């Protein structure tokens, strides 16, 4: 029975993006069934009551169009995350959810509730984009270009261009995704590294300050000696110039 629970836990961790989508839809259906707005459970910045929104905000949507507009990119980006970054899917998704929420709560001004999963959408898009670029792994770079092609225009919604749109949530979601791409750059799939690359990229040893100090001290002593007594004679160095070398070029007539 314990093995069965472990198996279900593994499946839950791997399929978390899709589990999140299902749960979001169930919550929205419950909102309609109960005829009660869940917006007061959203994120209200810099308030004690709004702390719960760090957890609940992505699950709450204003209407069906709001929910559907977030569901489609969540499906696509969640699948790409699961397909190419399965090892770190759970961590990326959970930290994206929590860190973006905390940044929103701490730094957004105003007295308005922030709801919706668009912050996670922006976080997934930015993570997939930057992660493929910095890893320089061809399949992941293709994913980066797919994200740019499909969702590149989303960048404009990180600016206050439209009233009623949580552009701050989009911005903090994207920043969190970029941060996670850097943090987890060594985890998950990596490109093949050839021997010559390892030699070229071998880290240089730090400079030995003691060696530098001794070298400079010896150089200063030699200069001081030359200044007081003239240049030291080196028996191995001839005092007169040796025979030169002439190169001849003959033109055949």
| Per-residue pLDDT reduced to its tens digit, 110-151 | 889 999 999 999 999 999 999 999 988 888 999 999 999 999
Query: Helix, strand, or coil here: 43?
Result: strand
Domain range annotation of the chain: 2-191
Query: Helix, strand, or coil here: 114?
Result: strand
2-191 CATH fold = Rhomboid-like fold (1.20.1540)
pLDDT confidence of residue 220: 82
| Per-residue pLDDT reduced to its tens digit, 2-57 | 566 666 566 666 678 899 999 999 999 999 999 999 999 999 999 999 999 999 99
Provide the token pair at 22: 């299902």
d(CA 244, CA 134): 56
DSSP assigned state of 39:
G
Residue 244 predicted with pLDDT over 80: no
d(CA 207, CA 151): 46
Q: Is the pTM of this model over 0.85?
A: no
Query: Dmax of the chain from CA atoms?
Result: 110
């Amino acid at each position: 029975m314990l093995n069965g629970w472990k198996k279900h836990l593994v499946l839950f961790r791997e399929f978390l993006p899709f589990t999140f989508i299902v749960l979001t839809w169930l919550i929205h259906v419950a909102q309609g069934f109960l005829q009660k707005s869940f917006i007061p459970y959203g994120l209200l910045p810099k308030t004690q009551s709004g702390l719960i929104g760090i957890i609940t905000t992505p699950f709450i949507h204003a209407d069906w169009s709001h929910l559907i507009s977030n569901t489609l990119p969540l499906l696509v980006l969640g699948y790409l995350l699961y397909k190419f970054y399965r090892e770190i899917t759970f961590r990326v998704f959970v930290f994206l959810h929590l860190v973006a929420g905390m940044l929103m709560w701490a730094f957004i001004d105003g007295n308005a509730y922030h709801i919706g999963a668009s912050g996670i959408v922006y976080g997934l898009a930015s993570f997939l984009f930057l992660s493929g670029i910095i890893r320089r792994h061809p399949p992941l770079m293709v994913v980066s270009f797919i994200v740019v092609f499909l969702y590149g225009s989303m960048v404009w919604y990180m600016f206050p261009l439209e009233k009623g749109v949580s552009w701050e949530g989009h911005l903090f979601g994207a920043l969190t995704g970029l941060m996670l791409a850097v943090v987890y750059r060594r985890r998950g799939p990596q490109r093949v590294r050839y021997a010559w690359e390892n030699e070229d990229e071998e880290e240089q040893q730090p400079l030995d300050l003691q060696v530098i100090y001794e070298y400079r001290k010896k150089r200063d002593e030699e200069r001081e000696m030359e200044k007081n007594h003239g240049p030291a004679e080196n028996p191995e160095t001839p005092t007169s110039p040796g025979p030169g070398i002439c190169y001849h070029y003959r033109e055949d007539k």
